[in-house]
Amino acid sequence: MPVLSSTVSSHQFSKDNIFGLPFDEETAQLIVLPVPWEVTLPHHPGTARSPEHILKVSKRVHVNLIDEYNGWKRGIAMQSIDKRLLMRSDYLRKEAELYINFLMDGGNLAENSFIQKSLRDVNQGCQEMNTWVYEQTQQLLNKGKNVVVLGGDHSVAWGYIKALSEQEKAFGILQIDAHCDLRETYVGFTHSHGSVMRKVLDQIPQAVHLVQLGARDFIEEEWLYLNEQPDRITTFFYKQIAEMMYRGATWENVCDQIIARLPERVYLSFDIDGLDPKLCRHTARPVPGGFEVEQVFFLLKKLIQSGRKLIGFDLTEIGNGLEELDARVGAHILFRLCNLLLANLYPETS
Ligand SMILES: [Mn+2]
């Protein structure tokens, strides 16, 4: 049983940092970058404010400092939330709402220059957010930090994957998600939660293989796109996995099949809606089915045991409700993923 580091005890609780851990940006190896952004799902707001809810709740949830992984000893710190980005998200979400309402009411976009401008503004704003995430994560990586991106909606992952790709020759992406996120555009939005993995595959050649896990809500365009390139995309639909297990396969068997499709270096893109909706009740697009938290961590443990390396991750689409459940689940998962990532990257100190 690993013992608690003598330098970190419950007496050194930090009221400012995530999980109350006594680190700051200088002393922490792993930096959590919050991206308070949700523009392209205007009718289901919440996730842009999940980083602040998670930060608050994280100081009260019990995090297990004595675990089989002890990567946290390398230090975890969360950057402060960029209020300007949050305000920009709020403003553009209203523009997106106007635009979607106009389309739903049967409006003709070609005849309305006002609504055309709303669409242009949204697309430009999303592009600027991508650049912001790219620059922020690139700076942190250049300082030798490891980075975690905390959304916001799933679109926030693109900038980080782009920055990582400049340091990696070839890596795989493990995407846990109820959706495929492989649309070319989402109702005219060029950079959205529904297109993020499409943009990664189309624009980042170092992402050599995408393994999708848990998809159970997708459209024909995505189905055709993924079937066109079996050498680059492997989708384990939730239905397939469930049926394998109903027939007697164990989760361990399924994990072995998933891991076999991944190259040596793996980026994890974790959309919370990949889980059972009971664990993410206020996510924007919950779908029946999905995983238990422990199933995901068993898979990641097997992944590490196979000799593969996790190189980073994003955690997105966590919702906000009146009760704290969503943020509590998010904080729990965030801590364990940070802990595991650091232990995997620096095994000698864990
Ligand atoms: Mn997603």
Whole-number pLDDT of residue 348: 81
Evaluate the CA torsion angle 199, 221, 89, 153 in order and state its sign: negative
pLDDT for residue 7 is more than 80: no
Compute the distance from residue 19 Cα to the ligand 1 centre, in Å. 25
pLDDT for residue 80 is more than 50: yes
Residue 58 lies in a domain: yes
Residue 3 lies in a domain: no
Whole-number pLDDT of residue 8: 55
Query: Tens digits of per-residue pLDDT, 49-61?
Result: 999 999 999 998 8
Q: Domain count for the chain, please give it.
A: 1
Compute the distance from residue 179 Cα to the ligand 1 centre, in Å. 6
Residue 2 lies in a domain: no
What range does the domain containing 177 cover? 10-349
Say which residue, 68 or 31, is predicted with more confidence.
Answer: 31
pLDDT for residue 2 is more than 50: no
Query: Tens digits of per-residue pLDDT, 197-221?
Result: 999 999 999 999 999 999 999 999 9
Residue 22 lies in a domain: yes
Compute the distance from residue 200 Cα to the ligand 1 centre, in Å. 13
% of the chain surpassing 70 pLDDT:
97
Compute the distance from residue 154 Cα to the ligand 1 centre, in Å. 5
Residue 4 lies in a domain: no
pLDDT for residue 3 is more than 60: no
Residue 1 lies in a domain: no
Q: Which residue has the tokens 């707001």?
A: 45
Helix, strand or coil, per DSSP, at residue 207: strand
Whole-number pLDDT of residue 350: 61
Residue 136 lies in a domain: yes
> Which two tokens mark 119?
């669409």
Mean pLDDT of 159-168: 98
Question: Other CB atoms closer than 10 Å to residue 67's CB: what's the count?
Answer: 17
Evaluate the CA torsion angle 339, 343, 346, 350 in order and state its sign: positive
How many Å apart are CA 35 and CA 19, to the nearest integer? Answer: 18
CATH number, domain containing residue 96: 3.40.800.10
> Which two tokens mark 267?
């980026």
Compute the distance from residue 199 Cα to the ligand 1 centre, in Å. 13
Mean pLDDT of 10-34: 90
Which residues surround the ion ligand 1 when the cut-off is CB under 5 Å?
Answer: 154, 177, 179, 181, 271
Compute the distance from residue 191 Cα to the ligand 1 centre, in Å. 12
Residue 5 lies in a domain: no
Helix, strand or coil, per DSSP, at residue 179: strand
pLDDT for residue 288 is more than 80: yes
Evaluate the CA torsion angle 188, 190, 196, 200 in order and state its sign: positive
Compute the distance from residue 115 Cα to the ligand 1 centre, in Å. 26
Tell me the pTM: 0.95
Backbone phi, psi, residue 32, to 5°: -90, 120
Q: How would you write 82-139 as a 3-class SS string?
A: CHHHHHHHHHHHHHHHHHHHHHHCCCCHHHCHHHHHHHHHHHHHHHHHHHHHHHHHHH
Residue 152: is the preceding peptide bond cis (ω within 30°)?
Answer: yes
Are 52 and 318 in contact by the 8 Å Cβ rule? The answer is: no
Whole-number pLDDT of residue 61: 81
Compute the distance from residue 315 Cα to the ligand 1 centre, in Å. 10
Indicate the pLDDT class of residue 14, thresholds 50, 70 and 90: confident
pLDDT for residue 239 is more than 50: yes
Whole-number pLDDT of residue 6: 43
- What is the C-alpha R_g of the chain? 20
Are 265 and 170 in contact by the 8 Å Cβ rule? The answer is: yes
Compute the distance from residue 178 Cα to the ligand 1 centre, in Å. 7
